[in-house]
Amino acid sequence: MNKKWQIYEVDTEETSRIAEKYKINKLLASIIVNRKIKDEEIEIFLHPTRQNFHDSFLMPDMNIAVERIIKAIENGEKTIIYGDYDVDGITSITVLKSFLEDRGLHVDSYIPNRLEEGYGLNKPAIEKIAQENYTLMITVDTGISGIEEIEYANSLGIETIVTDHHEVGDELPKALAVVDAKRKDNQYPCRDLAGVGVVFKLIQALRKKIRIRRKRILKILRHCVCWNNIRYSSIS
């Protein structure tokens, strides 16, 4: 199939203005101009802070995914991350694995063989995962089209969380959670995240929920300590 590249014409005047005003090189300035980023948004684009991020929980099924992963962390559950062999897939695996292991959950990963298995989920891989007694599988950069494969995982007792960025078909896989900004019911403002971008939003959501839980636990512990002190004082 023949493809025709369409390249933006460079607005040299506007590019020079942006480059000079924000003290950046012309390549970056041309990207800003081509993306039609407005002046009031350029500073955020160049120097974002945590406050500038969109709410991760605007993605469909994000809360379900977060709660299930926290349960796995608390129970030390046998968990595996399944991702493709391309750059996006490997980056997604690395980032999520690093985060979860920092939280005390040892996770393994599965990357299909490029020549023998190709892209995406496949039943022999899922059968192998089941034989090794994994009970939770998190897909990254893949899974949205794995209708039959996830049904098969369900039948083998594996719960699956799908995180993906590819277009959604007529049917969603029957996973525990399907986190994909291209779903029709998505409310997250940006639909064009890479697979690792979706993983990043999942990590943000996990950090937020874990932090809230820890604050609640500390609050409960403080109340318990305070109550015990009162009881001890009244008895003595």
Mind listing the domains of the chain with CATH numbers? 12-51 (no CATH), 56-212 (3.90.1640.30)
pLDDT in tens, 25-63: 999 999 999 999 999 899 999 998 888 899 999 999 999
Confidence at residue 215, expressed as pLDDT on a 0 to 100 scale: 72
- Please say whether the beta carbons of 94 and 147 come within 8 A: no
Residue 5 pLDDT class (50, 70, 90 cuts): confident
Q: Which of 117, 132, 204, 122 is nearest to 212 (CA)?
A: 204
